[in-house]
């Protein structure tokens, strides 16, 4: 083993991974870095559970009559896929893993403001996850991740209650995480770290936290009402009782549209870090990117009605929500243009994280632009609830948010694990994912325009060609996601030692050894320069 010679070197130093051992030291830890890893392990499991459901669905859709599944089973699979991916993978992905790991280090603190709450949030999250797993293994739930009433409250006899309560519980994990980040960013910044010297990742996480804190409780109380309505046959959403099912949609989307920005904003933050590091350039238009994050967070709360253009919402409200939805396009466009401009006259390298970042910009651009079709009233009427919508939000959430997440994981993996992964494999995986993704989801735009509704296990013959193309792409995409899992786990033991700053990156987190010591910094750092000051003298810690 070539790496064996390096083992002693890394083991002589005490860091957060080897400071103590045993299950107890992990399950009772209040170290934000260890909690980040607890989250990483949990959401990876949930991701592959949700992914397995997607694979079965795509397999089934090869045949118009359904290749292997009964409609009931298919319905359970897409519900499980949605619930797992949205509430148990995407929403905690970057905030709870990379955010937990990086926020204290980026602000130069020893930990988050409330370490015990942070650990509590993981337990709450896992409790929610257990409810979900129970719902799945006790027979499944077929309400869709949207829990629309009165279907969910009165007509389904699957495990809707367990699933809804699971989401309700996991919501509090999200609230605690967001609360912790806001307080940490406000109160615990190192000396010299002013708001406009902060890395843009922190701005993005801050904006995300606003949504988590102010949006999540609304969906929580809504799901409580669904549960009460199911248990006691009273409530506010059942038309048979004088209630209104459209009110449920208002309350649900008040959170669940901003939730999309919980997924994409942190990815945008990650991309700002990656583009600068691998172009060796300061970010183009720092304050525009920073403020556009906050603008997106605020506007995201004003647009939920575009999920309801055909629901029976009033024409007037449709016009209001359409106009406000278009407004979100502008801060998003500002970000994309600024990232692209950052590469201008840079020193661009093709390391794996950069490939993910470039993939993110391209796919997010497509996802964002196709959103215009759905903000526009007349076209949304035709495209609503078709595969066009599926394609659009997968371009945002998978093409965008997951690419950003993977880019971030690859970028900070040397910091997290202290090891390097095989670069060739990583670039290959990035390419496979990019290609597989487009093959899977681009045909779905066309399917949607042709009129294929979503959540259809059985469909008319004429949609088959596109469905087969999409399923073929999905098989490539699935493989693409497995490759990083293998080499990242491999690298934990066999990867070469990374050193404190393998990318020559700026930022406080790179000024401490990899893996960092439990208290992050030997002494509280002082910040004297702006973020991304790549023009200044190179880091002395640079490992060539």
385 belongs to the binding site for other proteins (CB under 8 A): yes
Considering only residues 226 to 265 of the shown chain, the ones binding other proteins according to CB under 8 A are 228, 231-236, 239-247, 250-251, 254
Q: What is the DSSP string of 386-454?
A: BHHHHHHHHIIIIIIIIHHHHHHHHHHHHHHHSBPPPHHHHHHHHHHHHHHHHHHHHHHHHHHHHTPBS
CB of 468 to other proteins, least distance (A): 11
Q: By CB under 8 A, is residue 316 in contact with other proteins?
A: yes
Site for other proteins contains 192 (CB under 8 A): no
Contacts with 544 (C-beta within 8 Å, 6 or more apart), sequence order: none
Q: Is 280 in the site for other proteins (CB under 8 A)?
A: yes
Binding to other proteins by CB under 8 A, coded x per residue (else -) over 91-120, reads -------------x----xxxxxxx-x---
Residue 336 interacting with other proteins (CB under 8 A):
yes
Are 222 and 247 spatial neighbours (Cβ–Cβ below 8 Å)?
no
Q: Is 523 in the site for other proteins (CB under 8 A)?
A: no
Per DSSP, the residues of 518-544 read: TTSSSS-----S-TT-TTSPPPTTB--
Read off the DSSP letter of residue 501: B
Cβ of residue 489: shortest distance to other proteins, in angstroms?
A: 29
Q: Which of residues 3-62 bind other proteins (CB under 8 A)?
A: none
- Pick the binder of other proteins from 213, 431, 468, 483 (CB under 8 A): 213
Residue 182 as a binder of other proteins (CB under 8 A): the answer is yes
Which pair of tokens denotes residue 227?
A: 């549960």
d(CA 202, CA 532): 13
**Within 481-510, which residues bind other proteins (CB under 8 A)?**
none
Nearest C-alpha neighbor of 84 from the set 158, 140, 156, 151: 140
**Among the listed residues 48, 52, 161, 311, the single contact to other proteins using CB under 8 A:** 311
Candidates 315, 522, 523, 540; binder of other proteins (CB under 8 A) is 315
Residues between 356 and 375 that touch other proteins (CB under 8 A) = 358, 361-362, 365-366, 369-370, 372-373, 375
- Residues 148-167 close enough to bind other proteins by CB under 8 A: 148, 150-151, 154-156
Answer yes or no whether residue 534 interacts with other proteins by CB under 8 A: yes
Instruction: Assess 322 for contact with other proteins (CB under 8 A).
Output: yes
The CA–CA distances, whole Å, from 489 to 93, 288, 422, 482, 493 equal 18, 38, 11, 11, 7
Question: In this chain, which of 261, 321, 434, 441 binds other proteins, going by CB under 8 A?
Answer: 321
Q: How many residues bind other proteins (CB under 8 A)?
A: 146
User: Could you say which residues in the range 420-439 bind other proteins, by CB under 8 A?
Assistant: none
Interacting residue with other proteins among 7, 186, 482, 529 (CB under 8 A): 186
Instruction: In angstroms, give the least distance from the CB of 486 to other proteins.
Output: 27
Q: Which of 420, 415, 409, 406 is nearest to 480 (CA)?
A: 406
CA separation, residue 495 to residues 8, 12, 236, 331, 416 (Å)? 14, 17, 57, 40, 13
């Amino acid at each position: 083993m070539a790496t064996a010679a390096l083992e002693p070197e890394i083991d002589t130093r005490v860091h957060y991974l080897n400071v103590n051992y045993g299950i107890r030291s992990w399950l009772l830890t209040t170290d934000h870095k260890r909690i980040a890893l607890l989250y990483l392990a949990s959401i990876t499991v949930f991701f592959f559970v949700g992914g397995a459901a997607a694979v079965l669905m795509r397999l089934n859709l090869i045949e118009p009559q359904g290749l292997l599944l009964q409609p009931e089973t298919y319905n359970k699979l897409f519900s499980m896929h949605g619930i797992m991916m949205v509430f148990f993978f995407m929403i905690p992905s970057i905030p709870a893993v990379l955010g937990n790991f990086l926020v204290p280090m980026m602000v130069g603190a020893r930990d988050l403001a409330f370490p015990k709450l942070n650990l509590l949030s993981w337990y709450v999250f896992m409790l929610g996850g257990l409810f979900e797993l129970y719902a799945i293994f006790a027979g499944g739930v077929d309400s869709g991740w949207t829990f629309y009433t009165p279907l969910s409250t009165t007509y389904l006899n699957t495990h809707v209650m367990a699933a809804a309560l699971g989401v309700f519980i996991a919501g509090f994990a999200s609230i605690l995480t967001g609360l912790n980040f806001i307080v940490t960013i406000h109160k615990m910044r190192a000396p010299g770290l002013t708001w406009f010297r902060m890395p843009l990742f922190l701005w993005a996480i801050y904006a995300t936290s606003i949504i988590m804190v102010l949006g999540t409780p609304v969906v929580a109380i809504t799901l409580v009402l669904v549960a009460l309505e199911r248990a006691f046959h009273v409530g506010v959403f059942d038309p048979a009782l004088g209630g209104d099912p459209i009110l449920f949609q208002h309350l649900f989307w008040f959170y669940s549209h901003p939730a999309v920005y919980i997924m994409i904003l942190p990815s945008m933050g990650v991309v700002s870090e990656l583009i600068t590091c691998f172009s060796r350039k300061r970010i183009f238009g720092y304050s525009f990117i920073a403020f556009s994050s906050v603008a997106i967070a605020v506007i995201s709360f004003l647009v939920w009605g575009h999920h309801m253009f055909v629901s029976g919402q009033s024409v007037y409200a449709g016009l209001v929500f359409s106009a406000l939805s278009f407004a979100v396009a502008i801060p998003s466009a500002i970000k994309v243009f600024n990232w692209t401009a950052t590469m201008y006259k840079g020193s661009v390298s093709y390391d794996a994280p950069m490939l993910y970042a470039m993939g993110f910009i391209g796919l997010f651009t497509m996802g964002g632009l196709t959103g215009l079709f759905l903000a526009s009233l007349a076209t949304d009427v035709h495209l609503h609830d078709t595969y066009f919508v599926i394609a659009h939000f997968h371009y945002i959430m998978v093409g965008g948010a997951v690419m950003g997440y993977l880019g971030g994981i690859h970028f900070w993996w040397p910091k997290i694990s202290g090891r390097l992964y095989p670069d060739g494999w990583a670039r290959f995986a990035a390419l496979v994912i990019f290609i597989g993704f487009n093959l899977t989801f681009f045909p779905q735009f066309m399917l949607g325009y042709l009129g294929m509704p979503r959540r259809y296990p059985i469909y008319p013959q004429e949609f088959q060609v596109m469905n087969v193309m999409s399923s073929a792409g999905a098989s490539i995409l699935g493989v693409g996601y497995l490759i990083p899992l293998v080499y990242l786990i491999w690298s934990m033991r066999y990867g070469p030692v990374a050193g404190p700053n393998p990318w020559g990156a700026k930022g406080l987190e790179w000024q401490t050894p990899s893996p960092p010591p439990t208290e992050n910094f030997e002494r509280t750092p002082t910040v004297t320069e702006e973020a991304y000051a790549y023009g200044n003298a190179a880091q002395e810690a640079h490992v060539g």
